[in-house]
Structure 1
Amino acid sequence: MNDPRTRSIVAGVTLLSLLASERAMAAGMEDMNHGQMNHQAMPMNHTGMNHESMGHGPATASQPRTPLPAISDDDRRAAFPPLPGHQVHDRALNWAVLADQLEYQNFESSSALNWNATAWVGGDIDRLWLRTEGEREQGKTHKAELQALWGHAVSPWWELVAGVRQDFKPASGQAWAAFGIQGTPLYGLELQATAYAGERQQTALRLEAAYAMLLTNRWILEPTLEGNLYGRNDAGREQGAGLADSEVGLRLRYEITRSFAPYIGVSFNRLHGQRADQAREDGEDLGQTRLVAGIRLRF
């Protein structure tokens, strides 16, 4: 009974019970209309009756049989104690890992293993984000990168990010400073726009979008779009000025659980502008249509 919440509940129930009892008794007394009783027709001699000796006393119809005790300040404090403020989630440390794409890709002349994953740790306002994506083709890593970004929420749906990005492939890799924004302006729609400033005065911009459309409670169709733009040519790192490459994907997944969902789909990869000219000189394909199959994991 030392718990303030328990005392509050007990005091509140007691007050309600007493008020209900008083109202019920008052209603019963009102139903007894003595004006409709014909006392003259009753052969009872009231003059010989001692009401005081019977223990009734001078009770009136409006007086309850059991008087209610006066409500004290202690009763009020017990019934309505001061409640602590709501603790926002930002005070807790949370985390999540999402392997959005872990898939096998098959195209005309070869096959590849592709991955795209994110992880975060923190609260509602500030978080540490980790992003990684890459591709292995014919047993060799063709592209691999890792980003570490600090995110700060500026609204319920948008978050500013800043940090670093390290490319391990292609070539000898490259380090970047990263600045961007990400958010979910609509349910199921995810947007990312990240600008990079790298070595040798290179700059880049990556735009990403994904929209999860619920066909049923478990079947989800997700179109995706990604585009990479660069400020200058760097043939050794497969970078061309302007829009260099794009990927449009369409994946259909079945969520066995929210944490495990196999999927199939198709991906359209295309090179553009000066990056396409570089690929043409090296005898590479300018565009590929890939059939994909993979799993989506969430922890």
Structure 2
Amino acid sequence: MKPALAIVLLLSAAPALAQHQGHDMPEPAPAEAKADPHAGHDMGDQPAPATNDPHAGHDMDGQADADPADPHAGHDMGAPSDGNAEPMDGMDHSTMGHGAGMAAPTASPGPDMETPPPPEAGSGPPRAADAIWGAEAMASSRNDLRRTHGNFPVFWFQGDRLETQVRGGEDAYLWDIQGYYGGPTERLWFKSEGEGEWGSSPEDAEVQALFSKAFKPFWDFQAGIRHDIGGPDTTHAVIGVQGLAPYMFEVDAGLFLSHRGDLTARVEAEVDQRITQRLILQPRIEANLSAQDIPLLGIGAGFDQIEVGARLRYEIRREFAPYIGVEQSWRTGRSADFARARGEDPSATSFIAGIRFWF
């Protein structure tokens, strides 16, 4: 080659050499080499193909961010450089490693997938204690448990009101007791209440014997007899209900039919309002009604007597509590007329002191 021609060729190649200065220039590819769309990737054990792009594998600023869903986004996926190349569709990438960041996600079970129980589940005895102590011994133990923690009879007695009442110089006494013997659903109840002036026999007194049967939670149906031992001798047939109403109101209601055919009724309700753990305020109301006038008993038709009061008690022990209170009573209608005829005031205010106990 002539020296002048060599100098011209060197001068024309200088810009291209300056452009790629600092790059490791691979060996020139054969003429039949085709463009590789995966240039710059780790192709495992496969030989690195030649590429026509001198910038393959470099970070090209200014290009749009690749879609993270497509691992080949941003690569040249165009047509091959010659007609001998296979189409891109159907290329097997399973053997190609694309780096740590391109690992295939691992499938996880869905939220509705459940692990089936092991085959031995449910194969044990229905009661584990039977396998240790024996079914016969445990059957006897369970019977004892039912007897001591279930349907067994108990005795309960309560002095609900044992009190003295101060009524403007005419002091009186009053008792109201009740109790039962039986199980949780069937019981024999007994009740007694009465009142009178100190130093004299009771003006009104009664005793009741009732059979009680639970018909729903906290409620009993009661039926039996009542006998009056104060005033005219009278016997009554009794039906009623007793239980715990909403908001913890204790309710006792009874319907009485005397042996003379007189029909009367009584409803009592009280509720405990705890001020402290031991100091309790108990509002109480009682209403007596009659279906007809009963002159022998001094009772008029309609509302016979209404009593409204409140008692404040202090539980020295849960089973023993003294109390004080106040109560207002009214006789209405014909009953008020009968009271005036006996020289009594149909309305009375009483200041109360008494004790309440149970065992």
Scaled by the length of structure 1, the TM-score of the pair is 0.71
CA distance in 2 between counterparts of 1:297 and 1:233 reads 37
Q: Which residue of 1 aligns with 2:225?
A: 164
Q: Which residue of 1 aligns with 2:273?
A: 213
The answer to whether the aligner puts 1:146 opposite 2:207 as a matched pair is yes
CA distance in 2 between counterparts of 1:273 and 1:134 reads 23
Q: Is the contact made by 1:192 and 1:208 (CA closer than 8 Å) also made in structure 2?
A: yes
Q: Which residue of 2 aligns with 1:78?
A: 131
Shift of 1:91: 2.9
AA matched with 2:131? A
Within a 5 Å distance, the mapping from 1:95-106 to structure 2 comes to 95-106=155-166
CA distance in 1 between counterparts of 2:164 and 2:324 reads 10
- SS of corresponding position for 2:307: strand
Q: CA RMSD in A?
A: 2.3
Q: Which residue of 2 aligns with 1:249?
A: 309
Question: Which structure shows the higher helix fraction?
Answer: 1
Q: Which residue of 2 aligns with 1:54?
A: none
Shift of 1:76: 9.3
CA distance in 2 between counterparts of 1:183 and 1:76 reads 40
Shift of 1:280: 2.1
2:246 to 186, 197, 212: 186
CA distance in 2 between counterparts of 1:219 and 1:130 reads 28
Shift of 1:260: 0.6
Structure 1 portions without partners, runs of 5+:
1-71
CA distance in 1 between counterparts of 2:182 and 2:224 reads 16
- SS of corresponding position for 2:245: coil
Q: Which has the larger radius of gyration?
A: 2
- SS of corresponding position for 2:207: strand
CA deviation profile, 1:42-68 (whole Å, cap 9, x unmatched): xxxxxxxxxxxxxxxxxxxxxxxxxxx
CA distance in 1 between counterparts of 2:166 and 2:307 reads 15
AA matched with 1:87? R
Q: Which residue of 2 aligns with 1:119?
A: 179
Shift of 1:152: 0.2
- SS of corresponding position for 2:345: coil
Q: Which residue of 2 aligns with 1:222?
A: 282
The answer to whether the aligner puts 1:87 opposite 2:87 as a matched pair is no
Shift of 1:199: 2.1
Q: Is the contact made by 1:90 and 1:125 (CA closer than 8 Å) also made in structure 2?
A: no
CA distance in 1 between counterparts of 2:275 and 2:333 reads 37
The answer to whether the aligner puts 1:259 opposite 2:312 as a matched pair is no
Identity among equivalent pairs (%):
37
- Structure number with the bigger relative contact order (C-alpha 8 A, sep ≥ 6) is 1
CA distance in 2 between counterparts of 1:122 and 1:173 reads 30
- SS of corresponding position for 1:274: helix
Structure 2 portions without partners, runs of 5+:
1-123
Aligned residues: 227
Distance change in 2, residues 1:219/1:168 (3 Å): same
CA distance in 1 between counterparts of 2:230 and 2:224 reads 19
Q: Is the contact made by 1:188 and 1:213 (CA closer than 8 Å) also made in structure 2?
A: no
CA distance in 1 between counterparts of 2:150 and 2:308 reads 36
AA matched with 1:147? Q
Q: Is the contact made by 1:260 and 1:296 (CA closer than 8 Å) also made in structure 2?
A: yes
Shift of 1:232: 1.6
Regions of 4+ moved over 6 Å: none
- SS of corresponding position for 1:108: coil
CA distance in 2 between counterparts of 1:102 and 1:143 reads 15
